[in-house]
């Protein structure tokens, strides 16, 4: 994977999105590229970087709700107190969407058809990540600067239609002839201009967002749509959409969690929910899931004692949890990639879709060979990706608790393995909402300790709009909802 070179001067693009345009006319800093000098190859690295960081900002908070991680502190999102996840909101509106709209304009001017395709995929992905967090939100009139200061709020249903439209258009554009001279997508630090990978990403995302609608389109219809799209989706780990970091631009999990923990400033630990899926507590395998040794540093203790969510870094028994981020993990080294969409995810989507299209549900037992094969391949792909030794991998796959045969396959087998493989990916939060936080699908799942009493035992289902935005845009006030109200596709 090519390491992207982040162009820091483009980070200042946020100023043009939030301030008067005349600012640059009279007071242009010498190290800032002005709007007239923007080019697609200069903006592409920033667009990809902002997309990745949007997921990170969302994952740091939502990872506590989906119980991959648990907070060391009181009265936060870990205990389901309301949260705006304001970093994700700001990244989307003042950076990601702003840059992507600038790129779309430039691509139109130059008739750079392939760039249009890549931009539309990034627009779809960032929109999907954001609307899944907030529900209804401004989009069509958003990021227009001083032209529209109070954009209207678009329904999530309309936004989901837009996501699929953007992806369909992107596929057409990527397969069209590009005579602009910019067909190689210069500046692309993720796929290095490989149009085949961009196209497979679009199809995989179409399947992802189709499966989000199992309550709106019925499980069978959503599953069939996803299966059709997946025929043209990811084919190996080499297709994974991920951004690699380096010693200068370090992985954000490394800088925000690993380095902080090394100095005694612990903020989050791995949750007992994740740990118990990997340490034989819930699935009685003969040995621990070998990925636990990659994910977690327990200081060499005999056991992995995960933190109970809502219990301020303690286990259910009240002892100190020992599940720190492993500084040597595939995911948490300074040069580790941050993964947004993976081949493993595509395989688990296929397994779930095959299970549902055959009439399966949250409590049924037995699936098709196709569902079972995709389930096993998803585990294998994830283990291969992070470098699990083949002997450990094969022993785990052959364990009777994992190798259940098609006749005994349950939805929980598929979704729990997806839960483990998509470590700190907010797609897990979407999955849990799609299945109503069911313990049939997620065995052992429980509300956090010391939950906000105002939640009345309900799950956290969405972020609230930032207070600063509510004061500026009265349109948001009308559509604002508490955190326990489900988003459109969950109803």
Q: How far is residue 412's CA from residue 144's CA, in Å, rounded to a whole number?
A: 44
Average pLDDT, the chain: 93
Of 315, 328, 318, 332, residue with least CA distance to 276: 315
Q: How far is residue 85's CA from residue 469's CA, in Å, rounded to a whole number?
A: 12
pLDDT at 30 over 50: no
The per-residue pLDDT for 38 is 80
pLDDT at 447 over 60: yes
DSSP alpha helices (H): ranges in 244-368?
Answer: 252-253, 259-262, 272-278, 291-295, 343-357
Query: For residue 56, what are the contacts with CB-CB under 8 A and spacing of at least 6?
Result: 252, 253, 338
Mean pLDDT throughout 315-324?
A: 96
The per-residue pLDDT for 146 is 76
Query: For residue 365, what are the contacts with CB-CB under 8 A and spacing of at least 6?
Result: 407, 408, 409, 410
pLDDT at 201 over 50: yes
Of 137, 163, 162, 161, residue with least CA distance to 151: 137
Radius of gyration of the chain (CA): 22
Mean pLDDT throughout 82-90?
A: 97
Mean pLDDT throughout 16-28?
A: 32
% of the chain beyond a pLDDT of 90: 90
As given in the structure block, the two tokens for residue 464 are: 């609230």
71 three-state secondary structure = strand
The number of angstroms, rounded, from the C-alpha of 57 to the middle of its chain's C-alpha atoms is 10
CATH 1.25.40.390 is held by the domain 8-248+457-490: yes
The per-residue pLDDT for 34 is 55
Q: How far is residue 154's CA from residue 475's CA, in Å, rounded to a whole number?
A: 10
The per-residue pLDDT for 3 is 40
Pairing mode of beta strands 337-341, 241-244: antiparallel
The per-residue pLDDT for 264 is 87
Mean pLDDT throughout 447-474?
A: 97
pLDDT band (50, 70, 90) for residue 475: very high
The residue with tokens 């604002």 is 480
- DSSP annotation of 410 reads B
The per-residue pLDDT for 7 is 38
Per-residue pLDDT of 401-415, as tens digits, reads 999 999 999 999 999
Per-residue pLDDT of 231-278, as tens digits, reads 999 999 999 999 999 999 999 999 999 999 988 899 999 999 999 999
Phi, psi of 152 (to 5 degrees): -70, 155
Sign, CA dihedral 149-155-158-160, equals positive
pLDDT at 17 over 80: no
Of 401, 381, 446, residue with least CA distance to 80: 446
pLDDT higher at 450 or 33: 450
82 neighbors 166 (Cβ within 8 angstroms): no
Per-residue pLDDT of 344-390, as tens digits, reads 999 999 999 999 999 999 999 999 999 999 999 999 999 999 999 99
331 neighbors 423 (Cβ within 8 angstroms): yes
Query: For residue 304, what are the contacts with CB-CB under 8 A and spacing of at least 6?
Result: 270, 275, 278, 279, 288, 292, 296, 298, 322, 323
Mean pLDDT throughout 213-230?
A: 97
pLDDT band (50, 70, 90) for residue 150: very high
Using alpha carbons, list the distances in angstroms from residue 195 to 25, 115, 252, 273, 329.
38, 10, 28, 39, 30
Q: How far is residue 187's CA from residue 190's CA, in Å, rounded to a whole number?
A: 9
List every span in the chain annotated with CATH 1.25.40.390: 8-248+457-490
Per-residue pLDDT of 42-69, as tens digits, reads 999 999 999 999 999 999 999 999 999 9
């Amino acid at each position: 994977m090519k390491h992207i070179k982040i162009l820091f001067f483009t980070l200042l693009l946020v100023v043009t999105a939030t301030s008067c345009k005349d600012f640059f006319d009279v007071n242009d800093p010498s190290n800032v590229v002005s709007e007239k000098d923007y080019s697609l190859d200069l903006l592409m690295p920033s667009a990809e970087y902002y997309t990745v960081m949007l997921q990170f900002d969302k994952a740091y908070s939502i990872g506590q709700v989906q119980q991959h991680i648990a907070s060391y502190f009181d009265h936060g999102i870990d205990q389901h107190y309301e949260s705006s996840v304001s970093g994700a909101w700001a990244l989307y509106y003042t950076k990601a969407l702003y840059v992507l709209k600038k790129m779309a304009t430039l691509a139109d001017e130059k008739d750079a058809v392939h760039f249009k395709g890549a931009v539309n995929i990034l627009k779809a992905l960032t929109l999907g990540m954001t609307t899944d967090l907030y529900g209804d939100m401004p989009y069509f009139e958003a990021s227009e600067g001083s032209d529209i200061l109070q954009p209207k709020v678009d329904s999530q249903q309309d936004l989901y239609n837009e996501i699929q439209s953007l992806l369909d258009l992107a596929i057409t554009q990527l397969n069209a002839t590009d005579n602009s001279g910019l067909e190689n997508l210069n500046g692309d630090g993720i796929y290095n201009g490989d149009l085949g990978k961009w196209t497979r990403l679009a199809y995989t995302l179409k399947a992802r967002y189709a499966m989000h609608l199992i309550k709106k389109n019925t499980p069978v219809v959503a599953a069939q749509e996803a299966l059709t799209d997946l025929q043209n989706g990811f084919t190996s780990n080499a297709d994974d959409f991920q951004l690699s970091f380096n010693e200068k631009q370090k992985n954000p999990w490394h800088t925000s969690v690993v380095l902080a923990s090394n100095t005694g400033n612990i903020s989050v630990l791995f949750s007992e929910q994740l740990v118990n899926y990997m340490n034989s507590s819930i699935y009685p395998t003969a040995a621990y899931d070998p990925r636990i040794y990659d994910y977690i540093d327990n200081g060499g203790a005999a056991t992995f004692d995960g933190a109970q969510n809502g219990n301020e870094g303690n286990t259910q028994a009240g002892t100190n949890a020992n599940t720190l981020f492993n500084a040597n993990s595939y995911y948490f080294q300074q040069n580790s990639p941050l993964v947004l969409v993976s081949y493993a995810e595509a395989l688990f989507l296929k397994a779930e879709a095959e299970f549902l299209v055959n009439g399966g549900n949250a409590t049924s037992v037995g699936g098709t060979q196709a569902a079972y094969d995709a389930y096993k391949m998803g585990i294998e792909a994830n283990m291969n990706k992070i470098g699990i030794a083949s002997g450990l991998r094969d022993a785990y796959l052959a364990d009777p608790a994992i190798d259940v045969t098609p006749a005994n396959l349950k939805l929980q087998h598929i979704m729990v393995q997806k839960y483990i493989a998509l470590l700190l990916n907010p797609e897990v939060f979407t999955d849990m909402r799609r299945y109503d936080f069911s313990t049939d699908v997620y065995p052992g799942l429980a509300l956090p300790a010391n939950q906000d009493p105002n939640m009345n035992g309900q799950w956290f289902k969405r972020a609230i709009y930032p207070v600063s935005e509510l004061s500026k845009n009265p349109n948001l006030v009308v559509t604002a909802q508490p955190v326990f109200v489900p988003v459109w596709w969950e109803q």
